[in-house]
Amino acid sequence: MSPLQENINLAMTQISDYLAKNNQVTSWQLKVMLRLSSSVLYLALGALYEQGKITLEADGINYHVTWGKKPAEAVAPAASVPESM
């Protein structure tokens, strides 16, 4: 494993641990508290997001990071298409 991959995995663990206790934080707070480079921070957040462990909500230049997924919003059923078409 490359040093970058190790740094990303460590950051993912640190972010997961913090969010499991606090549920929500901004990306800036994570960067400062965990002393992460922007690259490692956003790669780790991207990996956690892809795994469905966090949700991200943009707020200007920061993101609100929340532990877990938000409940799926109700989706209206698709309109039926007449068969005579």
pLDDT at 74 > cutoff 60:
no
Q: Give the model confidence (pLDDT) of 12-56 as tens digits.
A: 999 999 999 999 999 999 999 999 999 999 999 999 999 999 999
Q: How far apart are CA 46 and CA 22, in angstroms?
A: 19
Which helix (DSSP H) or strand (DSSP E) does residue 44 occupy?
A: helix 38-50
pLDDT at 73 > cutoff 70:
no
Give the number of C-alpha atoms closer than 13 A to the C-alpha of residue 43, restricted to the C-beta side: 13
Mean pLDDT over residues 1-16, rounded?
A: 96
Which helix (DSSP H) or strand (DSSP E) does residue 55 occupy?
A: strand 54-59
pLDDT at 63 > cutoff 90:
yes
59 or 76, which is more confident?
Answer: 59
Q: How far apart are CA 63 and CA 54, in angstroms?
A: 11
Tokens 């922007």 correspond to 38
Q: How are beta strands 62-67 and 24-26 bridged, if at all?
A: antiparallel
Domains parsed from the chain with CATH numbers: 3-67 (1.10.10.10)
What pLDDT does 84 receive?
A: 63
Mean pLDDT over residues 5-9, rounded?
A: 96
